Amino acid sequence: MDKQLDLTRLKGVGPKLREQLQRLNIHSLADLVFHLPFRYEDRSRIQMIGNLQHQQPAVVQGEVRSADVLFGKRRSLLVKIADHSGVLSIRFYHFSAAQKNQFRRGALVRCYGEARRGASGLELYHPEYQLLDNGLDDLPEPQLTPVYPTTEGISQQRLRLLMDQALERLAANEIPLDDLLPLDWLQQWGLPSLKQALLFLHRPPREVELAEMANAHHPAQQRLILEELLAHQLSMQRLRASAQQPGAPVIQGTRTLHQALLAQLPFTPTAAQQRVTNEIITDLARPLPMLRLVQGDVGSGKTLVAALAACHVLEAGFQVALMAPTEILAEQHFQNLSDWFEPLGIPCGWLAGKTKGKARVAALEAIAAGQAQLIVGTHALFQEEVHFHRLALVIVDEQHRFGVHQRLALKDKGNLDGLSPHQLIMTATPIPRTLAMSAYADLDTSIIDELPPGRSPITTVVVSDQRREEVIQRVDHACREQAQAYWVCTLIEESEALQCQAAENTAEDLATQLPHLRIGLVHGRMKAAEKAAVMAAFKAHQLDLLVATTVIEVGVDVPNASLMVIENPERLGLAQLHQLRGRVGRGSVASHCVLLYKAPLSFTSKQRLHVMRESQDGFYIAEQDLMLRGPGEVLGTRQTGLQMLRVADLQRDAELLPQVREMATQLWHQHPQRVEPLILRWLGDAERYAAV
Ligand code: ADP
Ligand code: MG
């Protein structure tokens, strides 16, 4: 590293502090100046002790009256200070003898803290404080006081002193920082240079409104936010460019197979299905690999869209692979698709992790020889030993369960003389628009925004487990009326074993209480064949009630099931609940979903379950989920790198995203040499991390 940027150039930084700073991801002076405050305090005005109020942060200044060590329940140091308006107690539970001795009677102290009602009136606990020698240094701080993210062993004061030194160097141009945003942009938008912005944000003058800073509306903040969002956008676009770089086979179907498939269906596609299918067909006809995300709410008919896309590729003599995240779902796709395609003369193949022995050898051979043309499976399709004959379209269902980068691994599997297969990604977890624009900037998106006709709405009720008996009776009643029901068991433990155990116990209990019902059980630890048999029996209405773990979350389709009970729904994400609930409401009778929570509920949990009750709109639910939990959790941290945003906040700054897209395009054209340094500056680490 540049010697000039070495942290030990600062006074007071030795090997130990340098190591501690590394925990804050600060490895150089340049990193240090990018370590920005997360909020500010106004300590520029000194308050009268007599005017202090409970729970109000304030700066006070006074003369030490006494400093005594008290031996109560807990040993503490109690210092009393006074100004002409009153006396205030300051209490320390952690203190040294040296510290006590600092508080000589008559010394002048300035403290910053939040006053709280205590044993002796208002008290300050462990305030930041400063002894003012000779009473001369009594100017209040001229700026807002920054509060930095920090780590154990580095106090705010320490960090501020280090920063003071670093900022001096920054101001003197001793820390080289290229301004990577073009000057004309900054002028056009009235934004400061990078150096100005950083200097300002570390030490904003006291006139600045705290509220403006808290909303991140100040130009200095906007300048950095734009730059960071731009860096993320560029990185996504670069990922896309590299994915598309090899080119792809141009697929121009005649629509013969397409028409034949439609002709044998008992329904016609919705307008939304048609529109999205056309978008895909247009992509396929281009010489670049398609990278398209199809979002469609649960039950919107994504499978048909995928099948129609497949028609064109199959007709052109290529293979199509469809990958699903669970074996149950893959199995179901395999059944549906072979029902559709085998009669049309398209041989289908099946490959899952549990396909073993002779069956596996045969499957692999059929795939490699091109005898299997439409291949359905799980992650197993990624494995090294799988070789395709000519794979031109990869369809990934329920993509949020695969990593964003994982899907690129199928790129090399096509055996297309250096060309890449087209990729179609389908998700039923609608990704809020704001997130889609940044997290999935490397994908084009299509939305199936319409459900097939004849669906009936689902009524959702939120019920405490104290009313479990009633709920059981309700299941009984529904099943006697020829409906079918799901009972979903969730468990907070990550352990699949425990989840399965819970489901087994519940199934036994329910069987005892409802002896006349035919009850089945599916969970993740059952053999694939057993699971498939139970699912088939449920589908054929040989079972009334299916007790399950969340394995049935995605894709399972049994239209006659019209009641779902979800235990401990408060433990699941809203998107997951929405997925689960989407298993009902697929037929023409009115459906019900009972969210059977464990009382008492926290405030947030209440709000979240309320969202489920009031809405059936996956997009709305996803937005709410995002608001209540934040993007990292909604999308899964590994997948995005978004949790690494340092100054931007996707929700707060959502309105900037269209502009950021525009900026990215312009930068590629006008200043391509700045792309790399920008990405490196803002997500050097994150990118490395994501590529693993
Ligand atoms: P999802 O989008 O959740 O994957 P599916 O593809 O499983 O939805 O479709 C749900 C159900 O709707 C299936 O039974 C499917 O056959 C049926 N379906 C799909 N499209 C239509 C349509 N246009 N009209 C009527 N039913 C449809
Ligand atoms: Mg589906």
**289 to each of 242, 244, 255, 427, how far by Cα in Å?**
11, 5, 20, 19
Tell me the domains of the chain and their CATH numbers.
3-40+149-215 (no CATH), 45-140 (2.40.50.140), 458-615 (3.40.50.300)
296 lines ligand 1 (CB under 6 A): yes
301 lines ligand 1 (CB under 6 A): yes
Q: What pLDDT, on the 0 to 100 scale, is given for residue 401?
A: 54
* Mean pLDDT of the region 317-340: 90
Q: What pLDDT, on the 0 to 100 scale, is given for residue 346?
A: 96
To 5 degrees, how large is the angle CA 669–CA 279–CA 434? 60
Task: Express each pLDDT in 528-544 by its tens digit.
Answer: 788 888 988 999 999 99
Q: From CA 635, how far away is CA 613, in angstroms rounded?
A: 22
- Which amino acid belongs to residue 449? D
Q: What pLDDT, on the 0 to 100 scale, is given for residue 640?
A: 44
What are phi and psi for residue 476, nearest 5 degrees?
-55, -50
Q: Give residue 590's region: left, alpha or beta (phi > 0; psi -120 to 50).
A: beta
Q: State the pairing for strand pair 108-118/57-71.
A: antiparallel
Is the pLDDT assigned to residue 639 strictly greater than 50? no
Q: From CA 602, how far away is CA 299, in angstroms rounded?
A: 31
Which residue's CA is the nearest one to ligand 1's atom 4? Answer: 302
* Mean pLDDT of the region 627-644: 53
302 lines ligand 1 (CB under 6 A): yes
Task: Express each pLDDT in 372-381 by its tens digit.
Answer: 999 999 888 8
First to last CA, the chain: 24
618 lines ligand 1 (CB under 6 A): no
Is the pLDDT assigned to residue 212 strictly greater than 60? yes
637: confidence class by pLDDT, cuts 50, 70, 90: very low
Which residue's CA is the nearest one to ligand 1's atom 25? Answer: 452
CB 321 within 8 A of CB 383: no
**Higher pLDDT, residue 442 or 192:** 192
DSSP 329-355: HHHHHHHHHHHHHGGGT--EEEE-TT-
What does the DSSP 8-state code read for residue 286?
S
Q: What pLDDT, on the 0 to 100 scale, is given for residue 636?
A: 46
Q: What pLDDT, on the 0 to 100 scale, is given for residue 641?
A: 45
* Mean pLDDT of the region 454-465: 90
304 lines ligand 1 (CB under 6 A): yes
CB 291 within 8 A of CB 320: no
586 Cα: distance to centroid of ligand 1 (angstroms): 9
Which residue's CA is the nearest one to ligand 1's atom 19? Answer: 301
Beta carbons within 8 Å of 520's beta carbon, 6+ residues apart: 534, 537, 538, 543, 545, 546, 547
587 lines ligand 1 (CB under 6 A): no
- Which amino acid belongs to residue 502? A
Q: Which atom of ligand 1 is nearest to the CA of 586?
A: 11
Q: From CA 284, how far away is CA 312, in angstroms rounded?
A: 9
304 Cα: distance to centroid of ligand 1 (angstroms): 7
Instruction: Flag the least confident range among 85-99, 140-154, 197-211.
Output: 140-154
- Label residues 60-79 b or e (16+ Cβ within 10 Å = b): bbbbbeebeeeeeeeebbbb
641 lines ligand 1 (CB under 6 A): no
237 lines ligand 1 (CB under 6 A): no
Helix runs in 514-589, H state only: 528-539, 574-581
Task: Express each pLDDT in 122-149 by its tens digit.
Answer: 899 988 888 887 655 556 677 888 999 8
Both tokens of 93, joined, read 């539970």
Mutation probe of ligand 1 site: the residue of 557, 578, 580 with most atoms within 8 A of C-beta: 557
302: confidence class by pLDDT, cuts 50, 70, 90: very high
- Which amino acid belongs to residue 153? G
Please name which ligand lies nearest the alpha carbon of 305: 1
Which residue's CA is the nearest one to ligand 1's atom 15? Answer: 301
Mutation probe of ligand 1 site: the residue of 304, 332, 396, 591 with most atoms within 8 A of C-beta: 304
Q: State the pairing for strand pair 374-377/348-351.
A: parallel
Beta carbons within 8 Å of 264's beta carbon, 6+ residues apart: 340, 343, 344
426 lines ligand 1 (CB under 6 A): no
**Higher pLDDT, residue 352 or 564:** 564
Q: What percent of the chain has pLDDT over 90?
A: 48
Is the pLDDT assigned to residue 429 strictly greater than 80? no
Is the pLDDT assigned to residue 606 strictly greater than 80? yes
Cis bond before residue 600 (omega within 30° of 0): yes
Q: What pLDDT, on the 0 to 100 scale, is given for residue 436?
A: 63
3-state secondary structure of 418: coil
User: Which residue shows structure tokens 């964003």?
Assistant: 404
Q: Which atom of ligand 1 is nearest to the CA of 303?
A: 6
450 lines ligand 1 (CB under 6 A): no
Mutation probe of ligand 1 site: the residue of 265, 303, 458 with most atoms within 8 A of C-beta: 303
Q: From CA 495, how far away is CA 555, in angstroms rounded?
A: 23
Return the bridge partners of 60, or none: 47, 111
461: confidence class by pLDDT, cuts 50, 70, 90: very high
